[in-house]
Chain A
């Protein structure tokens, strides 16, 4: 890209999110969300609905704020000291940032899978049982065993680890570790699963397995995924949101975004002119 083109990039105006950011059957809806790290504003006026039992993909160049936005949804940004958030984020029409809202309980409803697989330094069994024990989801040892087994089955990992449940989770391969993290998340039966580039540290085969798993899980859960891979977004998601320098540029059905983008910036990004 030449310098002139680069300058043009900045001249393109982003005043309002184009496409169809709002839908009827919303699980999450955000209005006028601004996020600041100290004095630096990371998200500008994000308005979007996330549909129930859908997969929404968030794409955009590095540093565009998509991970920050994702972490607002389950209040993971609370753990960052100088981060503050204004605006309205609702889960089932209930304000997530309301005073009496307990972020700990919120995170049990909105699970999260991270970029780098981060199994706890415990056995595979204890990794999956961790949340269930915390929230008292299983009444007895037998129930807990069942819960662990079911979660591992649903994460597509059980066959591979059924004989080594008490070996450390950190001994698994990268793809297996990431599925263990998914199993651990679905063990507490959340309503929404947020995935922050869940396959960027994995090889293509492990990626394909996780993508299939996401599609299976979307029957039961609402999933929001941040990804750098446009092919991945196209393969798994029903809707796609494009972020650019903290602005939510365009939201639409995945097909529309990739075949007929409305905004110039979106088109530039998906055709690979920058990013």
Chain B
């Protein structure tokens, strides 16, 4: 039985379980002339759950463990000289067996042929056992659950518990994924820091990750001073925020406090559209319009500038993240109760005094989270930087020079021909870790600021 058939059967059992459970509960209630504790569909949900979910879980579990069991079974059958192979070589060998088995080609090598035959046998055995176990479990689950149905059974409360469990499972998937990513980045970074000193990485000013991949290749020895990248990231993000925060906040205040509802209902979606434009379009715009404009402007003042600059990337990025600031700020400013405004006006405050002294402080947490969201977008932005700020890792605080950022370098490290255990590729993980820590620190700082200055109106 193939996997598709098993899953289809289980789905059919799920629906069948629902109807059977529902029918049975109604029939039981009639027979015993006892009122059901819950509506009939709750009994249906319960039977549907027991007739499919445990079986599905077993199926998943089986799929996760199957390959490692089969591999070890094949390996133990191999001649002695194979047992001494390193784990990598053994892995390669097993891989080959699996491929041969899938392709169905005739194999000359006797050892391999035996292994392929054995592999095929094992797979077949595993499949039939799996199908049997899963289907038996599904049917047994359904029938056992059916015998448990009684009119006084609190099916509604049990379904509530199942839903609660499902919610917890969904929430933990997101959390576990995050934890998984963090750990994988940390472990790869640790490998990287075995070859490159942590301090050289963090405070080194020379970034040139090219190193020879093959013996005969001419290449640098690789130099991993990431300081220019982090400075470039922060410089461009800073320029972007200098543009986006005042513009976004002012437009939020205008939209929520000054504009007519009609204008607001038109302008807000248009402003939000800025966030929906693909970043590559922004990059294009930055490289072809803004950067040359800045260069020409510099020339007219007698400065000779390159056509790539942090300023061009930062300006365009700033425009891109305006909606993150403005939209969220507008929502929280509108959410400040009217009674706050009335109270301030009744004291003889003007509109701008009211906004400055009552509304903004009350809306501060939301505004800060908007800015934070914008900042993380700016830090993670890649496309605009590639196109408008360049790839050269200059350590410079001058916004008119070409710089590069962490994300851009991660892209260049991981594209093209790569060897996945070289310092060059592992450096990408270290950069990712650095980026992650940077945004984490920003988050903590802003949480602290919000907690200190927030003014709660409830």
Contact = CB atoms under 8 A, between A and B. Distances in A.
B342 A120 contact: no
B457 A108 contact: no
Contact of B456 (A121, A131, A181): A121
Interface stretch (A19-27, A89-97, A110-118, A247-255): A110-118
A134 interface: yes
Interface in B336-355: 337, 339-350, 353
A170 interface: yes
Listed residue (B337, B342, B362) with the most chain A CB atoms within 10 angstroms of its CB: B342
B456 A105 contact: no
Interface of A: 74, 76, 79, 81, 104-109, 111-112, 114, 116, 118-122, 130-131, 134-135, 168, 170, 181, 184-185, 188
B345 A108 contact: no
Given A121-B456, A122-B361, A170-B456, A116 B348 contact: no
A130 B357 contact: yes
Contact of A105 (B337, B339, B348, B358): B348
A168 B339 CA distance: 17
B296 interface: no
Contacts of B349: 104, 130-131, 134
Contacts of B455: 120-122, 168
Interface residues of B, number: 23
Nearest to B454: A121
B216 interface: no
A81 B353 CA distance: 20
A118 B362 contact: no
B88 interface: no
A79 B362 CA distance: 20
B458 interface: yes
Contact of B457 (A74, A104, A121, A131): A121
A188 B343 CA distance: 13
Given A122-B361, A168-B455, A170-B458, A107 B347 contact: yes
Interface in B358-386: 358, 361-362
A74 B343 CA distance: 12
Which of A74, A134, A185 has most chain B Cβ within 10 Å? A134
Contacts of A81: 260
Nearest to A184: B347
A111 B341 contact: no
Given A114-B343, A122-B455, 4 more contacts: A118-B337, A120-B357, A121-B358, A131-B348
Given A118-B343, A121-B362, A108 B458 contact: no
Contacts of A105: 348
Nearest to A123: B455
A70 B350 CA distance: 20
Contacts of B341: 79
A112 B349 CA distance: 13
A104 B361 contact: no
B457 A107 contact: no
A133 B350 CA distance: 13
Interface centre among B340, B353, B456, B457 (most CB of A within 10 A): B457
Contacts of A108: 347-348
30 contacts: A76-B345, A79-B342, A81-B260, A104-B348, A107-B345, A107-B347, A108-B348, A112-B342, A114-B342, A114-B343, A118-B337, A118-B340, A118-B342, A119-B343, A120-B340, A120-B358, A120-B457, A121-B358, A121-B362, A122-B361, A130-B344, A130-B347, A130-B349, A130-B357, A134-B349, A134-B353, A181-B343, A184-B343, A185-B346, A188-B347
A116 B339 contact: yes
Contacts of A79: 341-342, 345
A72 to B, nearest CB: 13
Interface centre among B260, B343, B346, B362 (most CB of A within 10 A): B346
A134 B339 contact: no
Contacts of A134: 347-349, 353
A79 B340 CA distance: 13
A151 to B, nearest CB: 12
A105 B350 CA distance: 9
> Residue among B339, B343, B350, B456 with the most chain A CB within 10 A?
B343
B344 A120 contact: yes
